[in-house]
């Protein structure tokens, strides 16, 4: 499918300096621009952005596979242009695939239909919503969920401003967002299942899962994130927050796939049945009474892996931030895996205060 394209030409006093400041800043966030035919081109998670300076005008083009991702790119660009323009307030007018000005193209309001406990600390919430087919994806398994703030049944949702930035309601009407995995989606019956970990010190996400009653409203935007790349052999490792994603990944693998899976949970009662190719060996790691995010179980498991000789492999890791940092280092520095051969993502951060 052809990408959607949107462009803007922005008049600023020092377009060259502004472009350089933005490029340097984005490089710190692992977004690097490469020179191609006199243009600066960067690949972002949602699409491609091209920068050029012509006659002291900043010319920006964004390309994305759908309208939701195009809006995300426009918002990243517009907010950075405004931030790095300093004293100036540049006027940004986009051409091509304008937003409707009311709701984000990637956003859907959904309603809680039912919930049930899968384990003592994992609750499945089933949501219903209209027009949810955009969340059906084999690669982008995740959504950003929008939960009502305390004391408000229905918040106001963010909306796209004409300059491309995403605007948020006043704090008391603003939803709180957290990332979750779509465990199951059936666009025909309008249903989405999300499995929530019920953890101690509940924040807005687990609190919603604990307390929300059928009929409660929340929002979802996406789909987002990256799953696996095709390979012959896989190593998957994660804690209970990654269990929904690992379960989906395992279901999507070809019958010929082989590899190793490490899942850290509290104890046997937190294990869930998984459907996986027979060549995938699954090891549950029990941390017992140790708090989540406090053990070395995943690292110890991954260190025992017998990696194949061939390079047709993919390693996927998601867990607490510190654990992921160690595992990423192991995969890159000790195993020498390339960026194409692995993905390690922090799903949550241990905060004690
Ligand atoms: C791409 C992606 C997909 C994800 N998918 C899922 C999913 O499908 N299901 C799921 O349950 N989570 C998932 N997560 C993790 C989830 O977003 C975080 O756990 C999130 O912090 C939960 O928000 P909260 O409002 O409950 O707690 P927060 O307000 O974020 O945190 C409150 C307190 O709880 C602690 N905390 C947060 N999460 C945990 C935890 N899991 N165990 C113990 N303590 C915790 C924090 O350190 C903090 O002290 C995903 C994360 C990402 C990035």
CATH value at residue 116:
2.40.30.10
- Does residue 59 lie in a domain region? yes
| Of the listed ranges 15-24, 108-117, 202-211, 342-351, the one predicted with least confidence | 15-24
User: Does residue 252 have its Cβ closer than 6 Å to ligand 1?
Assistant: no
User: Does residue 147 have its Cβ closer than 6 Å to ligand 1?
Assistant: no
Name the closest-CA residue to atom 15, ligand 1: 347
Nearest in space to 180 (alpha carbons), one of 195, 166, 169: 195
So what's the pLDDT on residue 61? 94
User: How many folded domains does the chain comprise?
Assistant: 3
Measured from the CA of 183, which atom of ligand 1 is nearest? Answer: 8
Name the closest-CA residue to atom 6, ligand 1: 180
CB atoms within 10 A of CB 70: 26
In whole angstroms, what is the distance from residue 285 CA to residue 211 CA? 29
CA 286-240-327 angle, 5° bins: 80
**pLDDT at residue 98 tops 90:** no
- Does residue 158 lie in a domain region? yes
So what's the pLDDT on residue 352? 65
Boundary (domain end) residue, out of 174, 192, 224: 224
Average pLDDT on 73-97 reads: 91
- Does residue 135 lie in a domain region? yes
What is the domain extent for residue 120?
A: 107-224
Average pLDDT on 107-123 reads: 97
Mean pLDDT value across the chain: 93
| Residue 144, strand partner residues | 179, 221
- Are β-strands 39-44 and 57-64 bridged in parallel, bridged antiparallel, or unpaired? unpaired
- Does residue 91 lie in a domain region? no
Name the closest-CA residue to atom 22, ligand 1: 205
Nearest in space to 93 (alpha carbons), one of 139, 123, 59, 65: 59
Measured from the CA of 349, which atom of ligand 1 is nearest? Answer: 47
Are 263 and 286 contacting, i.e. CB atoms less than 8 angstroms apart?
Answer: no
CA of 144 to the centre of ligand 1 (A): 12
- Does residue 76 lie in a domain region? yes
| E strand or H helix that includes residue 235 | strand 233-239
């Amino acid at each position: 499918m052809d990408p959607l394209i949107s462009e803007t030409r922005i008049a600023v006093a020092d377009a060259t300096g502004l472009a350089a400041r933005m490029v340097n800043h984005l490089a710190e966030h692992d977004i690097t621009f490469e020179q191609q035919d006199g243009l600066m081109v960067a690949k972002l998670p949602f699409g491609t952005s091209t920068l050029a300076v012509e006659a002291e005008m900043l010319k920006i083009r964004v390309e994305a596979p759908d309208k939701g991702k195009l809006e995300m790119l426009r918002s990243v660009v517009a907010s950075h242009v405004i931030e790095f323009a300093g004293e100036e307030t540049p006027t940004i007018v986009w051409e091509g695939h304008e937003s409707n000005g009311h709701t984000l193209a990637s956003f859907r309001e959904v309603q809680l239909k039912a919930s049930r406990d899968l384990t003592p600390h994992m609750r499945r919430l089933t949501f219903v919503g209209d027009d949810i087919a955009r969340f059906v994806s084999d690669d982008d398994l995740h959504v950003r969920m929008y939960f009502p703030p305390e004391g408000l049944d229905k918040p106001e949702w963010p909306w796209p401003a004409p300059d491309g930035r995403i605007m948020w309601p006043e704090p008391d009407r603003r939803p709180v967002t957290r990332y979750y995995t779509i465990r199951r989606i059936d666009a025909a019956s309008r249903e989405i299942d999300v499995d929530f970990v019920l953890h101690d010190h509940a924040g807005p996400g687990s609190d919603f899962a604990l307390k929300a009653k059928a009929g409660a409203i929340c929002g979802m935007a996406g789909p987002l994130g990256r799953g696996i790349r095709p390979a012959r052999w896989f190593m998957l490792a994660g804690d209970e927050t990654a269990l929904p994603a690992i379960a989906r990944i395992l279901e999507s693998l070809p019958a010929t796939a082989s590899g190793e899976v490490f899942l850290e949970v509290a104890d046997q009662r937190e294990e869930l049945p998984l459907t996986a190719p027979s060549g995938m060996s699954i090891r549950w790691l029990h941390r017992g009474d140790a708090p989540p995010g406090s053990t070395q179980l995943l690292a110890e498991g991954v260190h025992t892996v017998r990696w194949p000789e061939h390079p047709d492999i993919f390693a996927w890791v998601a867990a607490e931030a510190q654990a992921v940092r160690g595992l990423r280092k192991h995969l890159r520095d000790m195993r020498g895996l390339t960026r194409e051969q692995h993905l390690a993502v922090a799903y949550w951060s241990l905060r004690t205060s």
